[in-house]
Structure 1
Amino acid sequence: MLLGAPELLKTESRSVVVRAQVRGGPVSGVILKHFRDDPVCGLDDWAGAEFLTQRGLELGPRFLAGALESRLFVLEDLGRGPTLEALLRGEDARAAFGGVMTTARLAGQLHARTLGTQAEYELVRQALPPRHERVRVENARFLLEHEGRLLRWLAAVEAEAAPGLHEDLEAVARSLADPGPFLAFTHGDLAPSNVLFAPGGARLIDFEYAGMRHALYDALMWLVTVPFPDELVARADIAYRITLSSQCEAAQVDSQWARARATVALARTVNLFQWLHPRVLEEDREWAPGFSERAALLHHLARCRALLATADGFPGLARTLEALESRLRERWTVPPHVWPALRQEGL
């Protein structure tokens, strides 16, 4: 098998990604990924692709080979096509709307078909240089260990922490560490740029933050992190829930579903305040292309509040975030972010 001239797709401190055509091989093209400064992310990416390939799940690129000593692994090239982000930044509202719905169903398939596969995934991941801690435990630990960063924000805007805040954070962390019936293999970074509409269909790419965790961690894309119209959020949530419910009885129970959504929304909203410093109060900066840090904070708070309205529990954390949101809205007036493709009325 001979490789044609390489095409550099990405180069950064963490990894280098190259595309190459194949001459005389079983596939027409390959993607070569060399991870450098963050071997944990590189190995999680490798393990995720290999795990899905072993299970015959055509939801991402097929794993072909890897060389640990070179920190290199090879995937089948899915071909060229737009990402969901490209659709959202385009002019075709129907394509963008449909892309989000397809993504929700794709995530539902990923989770429904990997429920109860913790042991199988661990065999793949721990056969590589092993992880010292499961990703969902890392997520839970970070939430609790950096509670002080949330309190720093409260002090900065002269808001009070409601009684029960710490206990609610502990409850959220426990659900992250032990998701029970919602434990599934997750992509871990389900951003619009990581959904590719390839010639063979929609696929997820770049599994650098993949692992077994709460399934709805991936649903955060439309529930909380990415600004979409309310109608699109509701429809994506329904499509995802229907797909996941085919294998997950807990997803069929309204109370459990509402609490699961509130749990991951609370975790992500608190995480954002843990990641960002209160200096945002003095200077707004870009969080994502076309989306500022202030806009991201207010969007997370509003979406989290909406999801908490349908769920029982977490009163201390809910009231604390409401107080924080009130203080920030007194300071900031931020126009909502609207994707170019969704600017038409009614979308």
Structure 2
Amino acid sequence: MPAPLDVALPTSAEIEALLTASVGARTTIERIEPLHHPWVLRAHLAEATGLPETVIVKCLRPEGYGLRSAEELTRCEHAALAFIADDLCLDLAPGLHAASPDSRLLVLEDLYPRSELAELLHRDGHTPALDAELTAFASSMGELAAASVGRAALFNARRTALGTGADRLGDWEHAYTGLWRNGLARAAAFGVPLPAAAERDLEAAVAELADPGPFLALTNGDPESHNFLTGLSGGGRLIDFEGAGFRHALTAATSFAVPGPDWLGVSGPGQVEAFRRALARTVPEAEDDQRFGFGLASASMVWVIMRTGRLKTLDARSPGNDSRTQMVALLESGARTAEAHRVLPHLAAWCRSTAALLRRRWPDTDIDTAAVAPYTWRER
């Protein structure tokens, strides 16, 4: 798979020099294998004292995403992997074998033969075995959050040492507390503005995420099942820490309450409870039903509002497009989450009324979304 011209791939000599300096013994590469993304490679080592036979090499991607530049994404992953292994002493993420001083080149532990949990769910559906893996995924994210609470300054010091400016350390710019404004404006333009009472609920939800209090913890910034590698026999690992940062811990649990981009539905409360149990080991406030429920509903609803920025795009698609059904399912799952915890009633009502309007406008979406099988893949 050839790399785009704007992806500068490292040479074997560059990777060999980095690994040789890291392990203190000569390392040579036999061959390099391209993977799914052109900036992610697998290097097969011919001579590797103290290293496994293969390693993963991540280089600078062609451009950033969200609110981070390509350079900041690799610096953040570098900082996060070192922080998790050396400061938190957790075996939840790939090990970092070596990194260039500017973080433009990272050499990571190869987690093969583990597979993406999302890939297995897509292939096999929501089986009991995969439900157990989803629970392990949720527990891993909860464990990471629990271990990192109170240690934001240490993580930020690592980012600063790698070249991140002080003005970029706050993760309140994250989509959960910033890009929701786009969804709010686009929903109004689509003809479904939030009533004043629902806007007040949304303001309360945003305020919760912007001031997490005891729930301030490290998350990878993309808590979806494609970022958990598993072999179905334990030992799952979290991956992709380019978007890592300290933010409200319950933003890492939303993927079990409302569907992310891949799915029409998710599995229900079991994984949320697994996350909660792990988090409560160091955050006793997680055992408070009101506080936990409000945090989860706030994170879920802000995600829903952010995704409503796609309404106009979906309206232009053909009947039967799964993305339309997913939008209805997303709105109704957000409402169910808030209703289950008896919070944000006006925002939940707006979700219900907007979903009802979409059902009328898009008759093909008029189905019982609560009956959709968990982890039904959304066809693009």
So what's the TM-score if we normalise by structure 2? 0.78
Structure 1 CA distance, aligned partners of 2:198 and 2:302? 13
Q: Shift in Å at residue 339 of structure 1?
A: 6.2
Query: In the superposition, relative to structure 1, how do residues 90 and 144 fare at CA in structure 2: closer, same or farther (>3 Å)?
Result: closer
Residue 90 of structure 1 contacts residue 340 of structure 1 at CA under 8 Å; is this kept in 2?
Answer: no
Match of 2:211 among 175, 178, 186: 178
Structure 2 CA distance, aligned partners of 1:65 and 1:126? 19
Q: Shift in Å at residue 309 of structure 1?
A: 0.8
Structure 2 counterpart of 1:18, one-letter code: L
Residue 264 of structure 2 contacts residue 326 of structure 2 at CA under 8 Å; is this kept in 1?
Answer: no
Structure 2 counterpart of 1:5, one-letter code: R
Pairs within 5 Å for 1:259-298: 259-274=294-309, 276-284=310-318, 292-298=322-328
Who is 1:345 aligned against?
Answer: none
Deviates more, 1:201-210 or 1:1-10: 1-10
Structure 2 counterpart of 1:326, one-letter code: A
Who is 1:299 aligned against?
Answer: 329
Residue 31 of structure 1 contacts residue 74 of structure 1 at CA under 8 Å; is this kept in 2?
Answer: yes
Q: Secondary structure at the match of 2:98?
A: strand
Identity of aligned residues (%): 26
Q: Secondary structure at the match of 1:11?
A: coil
Residue 96 of structure 1 contacts residue 341 of structure 1 at CA under 8 Å; is this kept in 2?
Answer: no
Who is 1:7 aligned against?
Answer: 33
- The Cα offsets for residues 88-111 of structure 1, whole Å up to 9 and x where unpaired, read as 133482321211111111111111
Match of 2:43 among 20, 23, 34: 20
Residue 34 of structure 2 contacts residue 42 of structure 2 at CA under 8 Å; is this kept in 1?
Answer: yes
**Does residue 242 of the first structure (1) align with residue 242 of the second (2)?**
no
Structure 2 CA distance, aligned partners of 1:285 and 1:81? 37
Structure 2 CA distance, aligned partners of 1:177 and 1:294? 30
Q: Shift in Å at residue 340 of structure 1?
A: 8.1
Q: Shift in Å at residue 260 of structure 1?
A: 0.8
Residue 264 of structure 2 contacts residue 325 of structure 2 at CA under 8 Å; is this kept in 1?
Answer: no
Structure 2 CA distance, aligned partners of 1:248 and 1:322? 33
Structure 1 counterpart of 2:239, one-letter code: I
Pairs within 5 Å for 1:127-206: 127-130=161-164, 132-133=167-168, 134-139=170-175, 140-144=177-181, 147-153=184-190, 155=191, 159=192, 161-198=194-231, 201-206=235-240
Residue 196 of structure 1 contacts residue 205 of structure 1 at CA under 8 Å; is this kept in 2?
Answer: yes
Query: In the superposition, relative to structure 1, how do residues 184 and 21 fare at CA in structure 2: closer, same or farther (>3 Å)?
Result: same
Residue segments in structure 1 that go unaligned for 5+ positions in a row: 343-347
Q: Shift in Å at residue 195 of structure 1?
A: 0.8
Residue 188 of structure 1 contacts residue 207 of structure 1 at CA under 8 Å; is this kept in 2?
Answer: yes
Structure 1 segments of 4+ aligned residues over 6 angstroms from their partners: 339-342
Structure 1 CA distance, aligned partners of 2:274 and 2:353? 33
**Does residue 31 of the first structure (1) align with residue 56 of the second (2)?**
yes
Structure 2 CA distance, aligned partners of 1:79 and 1:31? 10
Higher relative contact order (CA 8 A, sep 6+): 1
Match of 1:53 among 70, 73, 85: 85
Structure 2 CA distance, aligned partners of 1:70 and 1:208? 11
Structure 1 CA distance, aligned partners of 2:376 and 2:346? 38
Structure 2 CA distance, aligned partners of 1:141 and 1:106? 26
So what's the TM-score if we normalise by structure 1? 0.85
- The Cα offsets for residues 238-278 of structure 1, whole Å up to 9 and x where unpaired, read as 2221111111111100111110111001110001012x141
Who is 2:147 aligned against?
Answer: 113
Who is 2:19 aligned against?
Answer: none
Q: Shift in Å at residue 280 of structure 1?
A: 1.3
Who is 2:357 aligned against?
Answer: 327
Structure 1 CA distance, aligned partners of 2:174 and 2:116? 29
Residue 259 of structure 2 contacts residue 265 of structure 2 at CA under 8 Å; is this kept in 1?
Answer: no
Instruction: Give the total of aligned pairs.
Output: 329
Structure 1 counterpart of 2:187, one-letter code: L
**Does residue 225 of the first structure (1) align with residue 259 of the second (2)?**
yes
Residue 87 of structure 1 contacts residue 99 of structure 1 at CA under 8 Å; is this kept in 2?
Answer: no
Structure 1 CA distance, aligned partners of 2:128 and 2:30? 37
Q: Shift in Å at residue 117 of structure 1?
A: 1.2
Structure 1 CA distance, aligned partners of 2:183 and 2:225? 28
Pairs within 5 Å for 1:77-88: 77-88=110-121
Who is 1:308 aligned against?
Answer: 338
Structure 1 CA distance, aligned partners of 2:182 and 2:264? 31
Match of 1:97 among 131, 135, 143: 131
Query: In the superposition, relative to structure 1, how do residues 315 and 309 fare at CA in structure 2: closer, same or farther (>3 Å)?
Result: closer
Query: In the superposition, relative to structure 1, how do residues 151 and 184 fare at CA in structure 2: closer, same or farther (>3 Å)?
Result: same
Deviates more, 1:326-335 or 1:254-263: 326-335
Q: Secondary structure at the match of 1:31?
A: strand
Q: Secondary structure at the match of 2:148?
A: coil
**Does residue 124 of the first structure (1) align with residue 158 of the second (2)?**
yes
